Amino acid sequence: MELRTGMVPLTTIQLDSTDAEVLDQELQRRKNEAPALFNGLPSLLSLADYDEESLPAEQLTALVECLRQHGLAVIGVRSCPAHLQPACQQLALADFGKQSAGRSRKAAVEEPANNANSTEAASDSETANAETNEASAAELPIASTTRVHQGNVRSGQQLYFDGDLFIIGMVSAGAEVLATGHIHVLGALRGKALAGVKGSPDATISCSRFDAQLVAIAGQYQLFENEHALMNQSVLVSLEDDQLVIRGAEK
Amino acid sequence: MAKIIVVTSGKGGVGKTTTSAAFASALALKGHKTVVIDFDVGLRNLDLVMGCERRVVYDFVNLIQGESTLGQTLIKDKKLDNLYVLPASQTRDKDALSHEGVEKVLNELSESFDYIVCDSPAGIEHGAQMALYFAEEAIIVTNPEVSSVRDSDRIIGILQSKSRLAEQGKAVKEHLLLTRYNPERVERGEMLSVQDVEEILAIPLLGVIPESEAVLKASNQGVPVVHDSESDAGQAYDDAVSRYLGEDRPHRFLEKQKKSFLKRVFGG
Ligand SMILES: Nc1ncnc2c1ncn2[C@@H]1O[C@H](COP(=O)(O)OP(=O)(O)O)[C@@H](O)[C@H]1O
Ligand SMILES: [Mg+2]
């Protein structure tokens, strides 16, 4: 799966135990230390070294539900073994592919893979600068200019955010989502998505099911009136030499 | 405390009034004291389907404006003595309904009823918003066609942002009721299938009501279709209300008649 995350930092969770009760207690303890830490924190769950015996599918469901109950926005998994793939689909978890080697498995909450301090993000725009400042000041692994919207965006509704927009849900036909940064839809995109609306050409749009009425990046737009080859597939939309490029993200 | 249910859709002519009448009657048949309110001010219709139009003296607007009492305004159903109709006014316009006024009436009804069913007018404006504002649960009536599904999606958005529960940070419980379903036309690709609609709207399916001549017959006679227990639509509404009340019933009438013939013979 090809996914360019750009300046979207994500936290990867590596579990010490697969017992949902143990996890529940650990999360409660961490929440007592830093109450706002998990609020809508977009995160990935690492499934690197589990097999059918050490982590059956029902157990994964319980774990993810526990994480979500504590306010973590678990949006995907890394290094997902085959037997957990159907469960991930049911839990609306995207597959973020293999975990890069050499990472410390012991840290329970890793630093984001794409740190907000990276030169790419910092030199990107004003938004990115603000993000860097706030992120280091609060020492949170998540940029404050990412908004996670949990739930569907229905026909007639509009969602705008100055920053990156994560939608965990679908965007119905007749709905519109706009962001100055990236837009990521974990669900079907059937309405309109406009990324980089203040002119950022590096913004991207990604979604798990593509059936958009319109996509636009930095003002370059494309309408979809007829059936097309990438219908209902996972796609990444980006701008290359002022041209919108839509790629299937499927392997 | 009564449970307040709104029957809504956005689009007109999809079967809201038919559903309100059938739903309220089935709830009453199953022993729950129920009142059904016509919010379609100016286009009175529910009283016809319920067969009580000749007994309307006072209406919802009279009641809100203090011109009549609850006892004078509620009409007792001709078949069921635990079912009442609160008719709409034919002569006022929709703006006659206010939040305060509606709330006052709902509170009063809440004391003595188990269920309050609100038949919404079409559209997404004042009247429809008034009907859904106080609802705890919503029956989203949808026909298997693109424009109806789109309007339902819109009304779901309004339920999730403009209802009282939404304002309190809570959620209205949503139920999808697919009506006027015609399996032959679905098979020919002329209509959306149950699966299509479920996928687009992403809310739990309460039931599928087939397109049926029994509905027209029932509304002409002023007897809600659930009383016609031989009919497909009557049975489908009965199933839906039973499911609503927590019973586990399989979905029926999803396939062409020929296929379900044996099932019908053997009472499946
Ligand atoms: N399942 C059905 N089969 C056949 N006709 C139906 C069915 N449901 C509703 N109708 C018809 O459709 C028309 C509109 O129904 P109604 O309940 O008044 O819709 P609404 O209240 O949404 O405007 C009426 O003529 C009604 O008899
Ligand atoms: Mg009506």
DSSP character string of B53-81:
GGG--S-HHHHHTTSS-HHHH-EE-SS-T
List residues near ligand 1 (CB under 6 A). Answer: B 9, 12-18, 45, 122, 179-180, 209, 211-212, 215-216, 219, 233
pTM score, two decimals? Answer: 0.70
Q: Is the ipTM of this complex over 0.90?
A: no
Inter-chain touch A175–B156, beta carbons under 8 Å: no
Taking only the tens place, the pLDDT of each residue in B228-251 is: 999 999 999 999 999 999 999 999
pLDDT of residue A98: 75
Pairing of strands B83-86, A235-240: unpaired
pLDDT of residue A134: 31
Name the more confident of A89 and B48.
B48
Which residues of B are less than 8 Å from A173 in CB distance?
150, 153, 200
> Which residue minimizes the CA distance to atom 27 of ligand 1?
B216
Inter-chain touch A174–B150, beta carbons under 8 Å: yes
- Say if residue B42 is exposed, middle or buried (CB neighbours under 10 Å; 0-12, 13-18, 19+): middle
pLDDT, chain B, mean: 93
Q: From the alpha carbon of B180, which atom of ligand 1 is closest?
A: 1
pLDDT > 70: percent of chain A: 72
pLDDT of residue A237: 97
The pLDDT confidence band at residue A135, using thresholds 50, 70 and 90, is very low
pLDDT > 90: percent of chain B: 87
For residue A207, the surrounding DSSP H or E stretch is strand A205-210
pLDDT of residue A131: 31
Which residues of A are less than 8 Å from B150 in CB distance?
155, 173-174
Q: Which of A57-71, A175-189, B118-132 has the lowest mean pLDDT?
A: A57-71
Q: Under an 8 Å CB criterion, which residues of B touch A?
A: 124, 150-151, 153-154, 156-158, 160-161, 200, 202
User: Closest ligand to B178 CA?
Assistant: 1
Which residues of A are less than 8 Å from B161 in CB distance?
157
Taking only the tens place, the pLDDT of each residue in A27-59 is: 787 766 656 556 677 778 888 878 888 888 888
Mutate to test the pocket of ligand 1, among B215, B217, B221, B235 (most ligand atoms within 8 A of CB): B215
Taking only the tens place, the pLDDT of each residue in B45-74 is: 999 999 999 999 999 999 999 999 999 999
Rg of chain B, C-alpha, whole Å:
18
User: Closest ligand to B216 CA?
Assistant: 1
Contact assessment for residue A9 and residue A140, using Cβ atoms and an 8 Å cutoff: no
Contact assessment for residue A12 and residue A43, using Cβ atoms and an 8 Å cutoff: yes
pLDDT of residue A109: 32
